[in-house]
Amino acid sequence: MNILYSSRLPIALVILAITAACTGKSKEKHDAAPPPATVVVAEVQQKTVPIYSEFVGQTTADNTVELRARVEGVLQKVYFREGTPVRKGQLLFTIDKRPFAAAVQSAKALAAKAVSDLAQASQRTDVLEAQAQLADAQSTLTRADQDVNRLAPLAKEKAVTEQDLDAAVATQKSARAIVDAKKANLTNLEAAVKYTIERARAEVSASQARVTQAELELSYCNIYAPLSGVIGFLQVDEGNLVGRGDATLLATISASDPLLVDFSVSEIDFLKLTDPKTAGKGAAGKLHFDLLLSDESQHPYQGTFRVLDRTVDPATGTLKAQATFPNPGSYLRPGQFARVRVAVAERENAILVPARAIQEMQGAKTVMIVDAENKVSLRTIKVGDKADKDVVVLEGLTGGERVIVEGMQKVRPGGVVNPTTGATQATAKAGGV
């Protein structure tokens, strides 16, 4: 029994030694300090920068036209695809033409009849006949006058009888009465013919107007694009009756190149924009605008002032303004919300810090500084205007200092961090992939 006990004793000592060693290593690992947190830092810059003003705006089309049915008929054919660009003069709709083509033919037939009636009235046959009858009566009166003038001296000399003279005088009076009657008849006929001709001419004009109207209504059956732009949704399908009672809306076209942006300018910004000493850019009409979209991207084309309202709204203290931007291919559409940015001044030797590095604590603006030993401290700063994605710091920072822009939530003042730049971190991620 003693020999067996003595042989097992060294094995127990070895097991105790191994257990003690493992326990010591575990305790040492547990007591070790965690590694410094990795943060992204940016260096505080000092340089001359433009100072921007930003305004919230909404895009609008340069021109918008509603396409409506101007005649009543069945919508026969649609020649476009919704939401696609169309060019000026492109055929878009056709309304059934047959009733309007028949109306044109009927109007032309009536016009031809009116022209024929005018030609017939212009011949003046009744007037010509009355003129001939008047000339014949005047000739008879002339002969009667000659007979009376010849017989009167002879009657005084008793060369002819008084009876012959009386007969000649009676014939003269009868001839004069006939002449007067023929003149009156001619006057009446001339007035009647003149009226008939004027009425025929009026009917010709009216019939020509009916032809023009009928042709115009026929032309309304083909609806063309009045401008180049993007056409919206179709409001009426093929086969439906349109134009009954009102001009049925068929579709809408918007011309959005150039694209307009409506926004409001405060009185202070208005003074900055229009004062050459403040803006350093000259008159407001020469300023160039940047258009910042809802996804934080920037429109590749700069814009200019188009309209500035004549007066300040006393209720809001703002002016309505409008800028115009090139928009090739109608990439942007009317109705989008965007921000309009314009450089209103320049600040020399400005201290700049990225806007994302600034935190707000109890109304104060703060940043986290990383010193030369990679220790973190909290600094309160006073900020000024915006300069693109940076903010001008008026007090609290100097050029060359490092501020944390990512990972602020992982550190506390007094702690040590592992600082990296955004480019270094992006490279590390790419290498890990």
- Give the model's confidence band at 165: pLDDT under 50 very low, under 70 low, under 90 confident, else very high: confident
DSSP alpha helices (H): ranges in 332-396? none
Q: Is the pLDDT of residue 41 over 60?
A: yes
- Per residue in 357-393, is it b (16+ CB within 10 Å) or e — as a string? bbeeeeeebbbbbbeeeeebeeeebebebbbeebbbb
User: How many whole angstroms separate alpha carbon 169 and alpha carbon 175?
Assistant: 10
Q: Which amino acid is at 93?
A: F
Mean pLDDT, residues 131-154: 82
pLDDT in tens, 250-293: 999 998 889 999 999 888 888 877 776 654 443 344 678 999 98
372, pLDDT greater than 90 = no
Instruction: Evaluate if residue 81 carries a pLDDT over 90.
Output: yes
pLDDT tier at 23 (50, 70, 90 boundaries)?
low
Asked if 248 and 73 touch (Cβ cutoff 8 Å), the reply is no
Which DSSP state fits 63?
E
CA 312 – CA 264 distance, rounded (Å)? 10
Residues 6 or more apart from 367 whose CB is under 8 A from it? 353, 357, 358, 359, 378, 379, 381, 396, 397, 403, 404
pLDDT at residue 45 greater than cutoff 50: yes
- Is the pTM above the cut of 0.75? no
Mean pLDDT of 175-194: 80
Question: Cα dist. 276→10, 62, 116, 343, 364 in Å?
Answer: 97, 29, 75, 12, 34
pLDDT greater than 50 at residue 428: no
pLDDT given for residue 272 in this prediction: 76
- Higher-pLDDT residue of 126, 232: 232
- Of residues 5 and 360, the one with the higher pLDDT is 360
Q: What is the pLDDT of residue 22?
A: 54
Interacting residues of 374 by C-beta distance below 8 A, sequence separation 6+:
36, 416, 417, 418, 419
Least confident among 55-59, 99-103, 420-424: 420-424
Q: What is the predicted pLDDT for the residue at 14?
A: 47
Report the alpha-carbon distance of residue 124 to residue 336 in Å, rounded. Answer: 74
Is residue 74 predicted with pLDDT exceeding 50? yes
Q: Which distant-in-sequence residues (6+ apart) come within 8 Å of 197 by Cβ?
A: 118, 121, 122
| Contact (CB, 8 A) for 78 and 92 | yes
**How high is the pLDDT of residue 123?**
73
Residue 396 pLDDT > 80, yes or no? yes
Q: How far apart are CA 296 and CA 299, in angstroms?
A: 10
Question: How many Cα atoms sit within 13 Å of 315 on the Cβ side?
Answer: 1
